Amino acid sequence: MEGESLHHRTTGLPKATTRIPPPQFSSSVHHLQEMNSSQSNIRSQFAPSSIPAMNGVKRGLPVPAEKPETKRKLLSESAGEFSTKSTASQPTSRNIRGTALKDAAKSNYSNGALSSRHTSNSSYSSTSSHAYSVGPGNRPPSRSHISHNRARSTTRTGRPATSMGTREEGQRNNVSDIDEKLGQMDTEFQKVKEFMAMTEKDSAIAREELEMLKKRAGNLDDQRTNLQAERAQLMDRLSDAERQVRNLNIDIQDQQRRHDKYCEELIADHARKIRAKEEDYEREMDKVVKLQQEFEGKCGVEAESRLENLSYENKELRSTLERQKRDHEHDIRMLHDDLERQSRRIRDMEENLKKADDDQRALQAQIEENLKTIDRLRRRAEDAEERLSKDQGHLGGQIKSLSQLLDSSSTRIQSLEQESKAAQSDFQRKIHEIEAAAQQKVDEETKMLRDRLIKEEERRHKLFEQVQELKGNIRVMCRIKPPADRENDALIKFNPRVSELDEDKIDGVSIPTEREDFREPGKMIPGKPKDFNFERVFDDHCTNKDVFDEISQLVQSVMDGKKVCIFCYGQTGSGKTFTMSRKGDGIIPRTQDMIFSEVDRLQALGWEYTVEGGYLEVYQDKLYDLLASRNSKPEPLSVDPIGEELNIKGHSFTLLQEKKDLDEMVQMADSNRHTAATAMNDRSSRSHSILVLKIRGVKKNEEGEVIKTRKGTLNLIDLAGSESPDKARGDQIYKEGVEINSSLSYLRTVLSNLGQGKTEGVDFRSYTLTQLLRPSLGKGCRTLMFVMVSPLKENENETIRSLEFARDAQKVKMGGNGGATRTRK
């Protein structure tokens, strides 16, 4: 069951289980079931069992107007795109949130519409009491009060068994049924609250997702703007490059034209010059031919001289011509050089042109590349734009669906809140009604139980009185101290006798004796064993708890207004203090616990108790207050010899409001006693210590008038060691021993007189101890004497003396009011 509820918590869904509401709360439970059924429907829209596994965020988004198959396809496609984009930038948490959203959305999809949430009949009993809101703090105080009383009553021990227990049990069962139902309602309301918290969480996730998608849309917008800016930059660069190419082409063409023109001009000039030279040469040659012809015509000296002249001229002309030819060749060479230079320049220019062509081609290629890039970028931009618009479409769709989902979630939350509020107030009302009814019932039952309890208490009181009277007013029990060394100590043979009434208990011992055989003096033969029968004998295996269990009824009777004395009598070291005062364990500490828990228990039955206490010591027949300061020498006190109550002149009892006060009082007395013991050589063994508790109970009616009172007194007395005075131990100790013995022997006389029914005329005044105990030893008072004995053979005489003392004290008159006398042997 624990595991199941855990599972529900992790999936955010209640698991339907069946629970049958208890009949007396059928109307409220029916209401719970109605509400839980509707909640169950709401939750079933989110049921993971109806959601196929999905990977992307978008897959889960509802597409309202399309068929499921188409929707699923579109969603899965878009989920693919979106998840590719989103996985890089979105962390895993987005997917987690997306899944929650997806689940929610898918749940919507699988259920059709939100309006269908009230149509499911799925059982919802496991959460059928979600709306209960009353916590433990709102429980009616009387229930805890009652349970407190019950708890307290169970701690009591040894009370007589009655038929009341069975009927009380039935009533308790009813009360606990109501408690259980209220508890169930609490649990169920807690579950409704959990469910609401879960729905709010879902809606918060949806809102978060919406925010994220909006952010994503903003990012895509930014990306688009960046791409557009990049594209514009690239277009600018492209047009710059085109412009440069155009200018470069124009430059190249200009240069080409200029170069061609220059070459043409150079060649034409050169040709013109060559033609002019050739014409000059032809003209000179014509002159030579004419002169040759003239010479040949004239043929004389003159002709010869003329010829010589002409030869000379001809030489001159030749050398001129040669020179001219050289010049001309030089010019031609120069022209050639020039031509070469020009050719080189042209080549350079051609190279430049080629380079420019290459550059142009590279530029062209770059332009083409750029164009391609631009194209690509354009396409990318277009793609991005397209995607963006698609995304915008999707996002729009998503945002729309999310908004719708958010709206519907908000509406649902609102309606759930309203429903919850209504249910809560309804449940509050119902719980108030149930509480009021339960309270009334509890009150009635409490009153009835209380009345019955009071009657039972009175019956118990009477029966208890009868039992106590049957047991006798002076009761004696014996306790045998365990030996310190069981193996090696020489021990008294006690020969225990098992009680006829209870086989687990011992109520007598038989100590074997020896006597001298009168026929053969000096020879010891078995004598008549000394038999001692008491109400109970605690052997050396018994504990302080066993002791208190046996006597707790006497403490109880103090609460009933009885006067009770419990003595511990015995020789020094026999275990009186161990039995009476051992810390946390002895009769005194256990009595403290019991009294204050009884005060609480009886308060529930209308009793108000006050407890007063005093701790006194009788040393050398003088009374001292053990609570008085030990800074100065304590002054002896004197007991008021008359009156039914114990009054000590100049001494007042301390009001003990709680157990702690009694603890402190006992501690203080112990410490003072210890101080005195150290100062006065173990005085504690030679003084009687008495814890007096005065317990007053008052019962009032509804008008506040006192209708009953109880006045009980409990004396818990640790008597001084009872051994015979021993002169060998010194005068002081001998004197103390005599004094102790006298007072104890007088106590025995008093007890013996009381035991014989002599309630009148018993003189208590002779000793302080009996004076002190007088108010608690009269008619109707109860006295219990513990006789503590040593198990050691060496103490046998003291042990037998103590047992004989106790046997004498035990001779009681039954009933204490003049009834039949019973003497125990």
Ligand X SMILES: Nc1ncnc2c1ncn2[C@@H]1O[C@H](COP(=O)(O)OP(=O)(O)OP(=O)(O)O)[C@@H](O)[C@H]1O
Q: Which residues bind ligand X (CB under 6 A)?
A: 481-482, 570, 572-578, 684-685, 721, 788
| Residue among 423 and 547 whose Cβ is closer to ligand X | 547
| Residue among 179 and 540 whose Cβ is closer to ligand X | 540
| Residue among 541 and 633 whose Cβ is closer to ligand X | 541
| Residue among 227 and 788 whose Cβ is closer to ligand X | 788
Smallest gap from Cβ 794 to ligand X, in A, equals 15
Smallest gap from Cβ 741 to ligand X, in A, equals 13
Smallest gap from Cβ 578 to ligand X, in A, equals 3
| Residue among 281 and 578 whose Cβ is closer to ligand X | 578
Query: Which amino acid, 22?
Result: P
Residue nearest ligand X, Cβ-based: 575
Write down the residue that tokens 């009770």 correspond to: 564
How far apart CA 764 and CA 754 sit, in angstroms, is: 11
| Residue among 298 and 674 whose Cβ is closer to ligand X | 674
| Residue among 356 and 480 whose Cβ is closer to ligand X | 480
Structure tokens at 549: 């269990």
| Residue among 98 and 570 whose Cβ is closer to ligand X | 570
The residues near 358 (Cβ < 8 Å, ≥ 6 apart) are none
| Residue among 481 and 651 whose Cβ is closer to ligand X | 481
Beta bridge pairs of residue 785: 476, 567
Smallest gap from Cβ 678 to ligand X, in A, equals 14
Angle CA(41)–CA(44)–CA(46) in degrees, nearest 5?
130
DSSP 501-568: S-TT-EEEEEE--EEE-TTSTT-EEE---EEEEEEEEE-TT--HHHHHHHHHHHHHHHHTT-EEEEEE
Smallest gap from Cβ 572 to ligand X, in A, equals 4
The radius of gyration of the chain from alpha carbons, rounded to an integer in Å, stands at 65
The residues near 486 (Cβ < 8 Å, ≥ 6 apart) are none
Query: Which amino acid, 308?
Result: E
How far apart CA 277 and CA 26 sit, in angstroms, is: 144
| Residue among 446 and 672 whose Cβ is closer to ligand X | 672
Smallest gap from Cβ 569 to ligand X, in A, equals 9
The count of C-alpha atoms lying within 13 angstroms of the C-alpha of 487, restricted to the half-sphere facing its C-beta, is 0
Smallest gap from Cβ 170 to ligand X, in A, equals 44
Smallest gap from Cβ 641 to ligand X, in A, equals 28
How far apart CA 431 and CA 424 sit, in angstroms, is: 10
How far apart CA 124 and CA 128 sit, in angstroms, is: 6
Instruction: Tell me the CA distances in angstroms from 226 to 229, 333, 381, 385, one per residue in order.
Output: 5, 67, 10, 12
Is the distance from CB of 68 to CB of 50 less than 8 angstroms? no
End-to-end Cα, the chain, rounded Å: 67
How far apart CA 745 and CA 723 sit, in angstroms, is: 12
Smallest gap from Cβ 548 to ligand X, in A, equals 13
| Residue among 367 and 788 whose Cβ is closer to ligand X | 788
178 burial level (CB within 10 Å; 0-12, 13-18, 19+): buried
DSSP 772-825: HHHHHHSTT-EEEEEEEE--BGGGHHHHHHHHHHHHHHT--BTTTTT--B----
Smallest gap from Cβ 785 to ligand X, in A, equals 14
The runs of H, that is alpha helices, within 127-163 are 141-155
395 burial level (CB within 10 Å; 0-12, 13-18, 19+): buried
How far apart CA 23 and CA 33 sit, in angstroms, is: 14
| Residue among 183 and 483 whose Cβ is closer to ligand X | 483
Smallest gap from Cβ 567 to ligand X, in A, equals 12
Is the distance from CB of 679 to CB of 598 less than 8 angstroms? no
Beta strands in 29-123 (DSSP E): none
Smallest gap from Cβ 589 to ligand X, in A, equals 14
Smallest gap from Cβ 542 to ligand X, in A, equals 8
| Residue among 127 and 571 whose Cβ is closer to ligand X | 571
